[in-house]
Amino acid sequence: ITFYHFLNHVNGKLMVGLQTERGGPVGNLWQNTAKLQNRWERNVIKIQSSKNFQ
């Protein structure tokens, strides 16, 4: 998965999770805490799973 997000002066946390079963737990794959920057950041997450996902 490739995605872009904007970092700015507002404090906060962006998290990406994966849920492999309906109603199941969401596992944390990636997170980032906002920094004092005004720029777009590109991130790539590789998902390896034997289960289908969308």
- From residue 15, alpha-carbon distances to 28, 32, 42, 50 in Å are 7, 7, 14, 23
| Partner residues linked to 16 by β-bridges | 30
Other CB atoms within a 10 A radius of the CB of residue 1 amount to 11
Does pTM surpass 0.75? no
* Amino acid 54: pLDDT: 62
What's the average model confidence in pLDDT over 22-41? 84
How wide is the angle at C-alpha 5 spanned by C-alphas 24 and 42, nearest 5°?
100
> Binning pLDDT at 50, 70 and 90, where does residue 25 land?
very high
What is the C-alpha separation between 11 and 31, in angstroms, rounded? 13
